Amino acid sequence: MIRPISGWTLFAIVMVLAFGSWPGFAAPDDKAHGKFSGEYTFYSLSLGDTGPPTKKDTKVNIWMSGSFAAQLYRRLGNESRGESCSEAIEVREKGNLVCSRVRATGEVNCGLGFDLRSGKSVLGMIC
């Protein structure tokens, strides 16, 4: 016997289909807490043409990948759409946090940097 879909269930389905990328929206496999994978690099000057870190100028770039990056991308939401540099990727960014998603593979990576002198964030990814 087929049970009729309740109004709330129908509402939930519609919301998922229509606003699946709402900021704060969590996919079923999203976790509020967990480990993540990534890479880091210390450098000076700025992304794209860097120097070795020095006493006066040390920044760190944190490159995030895996499910954590995918979750960041989802939680940033559609309204954070950023400059993609290429039709092959979609970008979402807020401030200096940048996530890029490869359309063909679905791979997501995110980048965020910090200036260790000032403690302020710096751009995490460039074209």
Partner 1 sequence: MGNLTPDDWRQDISPDLSNLHPDGLILGGLREMGRQGFGDGPLVLDSHPADVGRTPWTVSDASAAARPAPAGPALNQDWTQLPRLDAIEAGEHGSGYYVYGTDDTERIGTAARGQWGRPRTMEVINAVADRLATGDSYTPLGIGNISLPTGGRFPPHRWHQDGLGVDVRPARTDSAQLPVTYRDQQYDRAATQRLIDAFHATGQVDKIYFNDPMIGGVQPSKGHDNHFHVQIKR
Site track 21-60 with partner 1 (rule: CB under 8 A), x = hit: -------------xxxxxxxxxx-xxxxxxxxx-------
| Interface with partner 1, residue 72, by CB under 8 A | no
The token pair at 8 is 């709330």
We find the least distance from the C-beta atom of residue 95 to partner 1, in angstroms, to be 10
Question: Within 13 Å and on the Cβ side, how many CA atoms surround 120?
Answer: 6
Stretch (H or E) spanning 112: strand 108-115
Dihedral angle sign, alpha carbons of residues 27, 69, 89, 93: positive
User: Which residues form the interface with partner 1 (CB under 8 A)?
Assistant: 34-43, 45-53, 61, 63, 65-68, 70, 83-86, 88-89, 91, 98, 100, 102, 104-105, 107-109, 111, 123-127
